[in-house]
């Protein structure tokens, strides 16, 4: 069985994340979505809330974990074979390329890059939050449950 992990901040999950996770699910026996718990980033949603959003989207059909510290240690604990990352553009590539090499050096784990589907490649969690904060429509950018969570969170 080949186990893949899609790690990220997911604050909040977007349609771009769903694109990546769905495509990874079609390729691997098991996909674990790993939500980072990094309080220094001052997220809009707690790690538990972000994990719960994924559970609302996927039900019991997906494994969701929350981790702190080094990703590769969490991946090792979960017996992960490959990390899967979405690449939207050259900026993502520069950053992810470096992390992929570091993660491989640290633990031997491989990283697979998937080019984000063009229809969602402009979406980022930070832009979604900005649009939502300013009262703009986010329905085409995030799953329905996330849209509702944003509405509840923002005045």
Residues that bind ligand PNS (CB under 6 A): 7-9, 36, 70-71, 99, 102-103
User: Which one, 60 or 89, has the nearer CB to ligand PNS?
Assistant: 89
Q: For residues 139 and 91, what is the distance between their CA atoms, to the nearest angstrom? A: 26
* Residues tagged active-site: 17, 41, 88, 125
The rounded distance, in Å, linking the Cα atoms of 141 and 155 is 20
Nearest to 86 by CA among 3, 31, 23, 11: 23
Distance CA 135, CA 145 (A): 17
The minimum distance between CB 61 and ligand PNS, in angstroms, equals: 22
Residue number, 70 or 154, with CB nearest to ligand PNS: 70
The least distance separating ligand PNS from the CB of residue 85, rounded to whole angstroms, comes to 7
Judged by beta carbon, residue 7 or residue 12, the one nearer ligand PNS is 7
| Cα 146 from Cα 131, distance rounded (Å) | 13
CA angle 37, 51, 112 (to 5 degrees): 75
Residue showing the smallest CB distance to ligand PNS in the complex: 8
Closest approach of ligand PNS to the CB of residue 155, in Å: 25
């Amino acid at each position: 069985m080949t186990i893949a992990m899609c790690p990220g901040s997911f604050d909040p999950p977007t349609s771009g994340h769903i694109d990546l996770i769905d495509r990874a699910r079609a390729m691997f026996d098991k996909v674990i979505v790993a939500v980072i718990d990094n309080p220094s980033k001052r997220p809009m949603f707690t790690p538990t809330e972000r994990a719960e959003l994924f559970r609302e989207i996927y039900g019991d059909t997906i494994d969701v974990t929350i981790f702190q510290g080094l990703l590769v240690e969490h991946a090792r604990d979960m017996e992960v074979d490959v990390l899967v990352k979405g690449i939207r553009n050259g900026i993502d590539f520069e950053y992810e390329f470096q992390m992929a090499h570091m993660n491989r050096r640290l633990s031997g784990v491989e990283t697979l890059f998937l080019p984000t589907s063009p229809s969602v490649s402009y979406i980022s969690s930070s832009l979604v939050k900005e649009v939502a904060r300013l009262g703009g429509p986010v329905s085409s950018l995030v799953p329905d449950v996330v849209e509702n969570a944003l509405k509840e969170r923002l005045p």
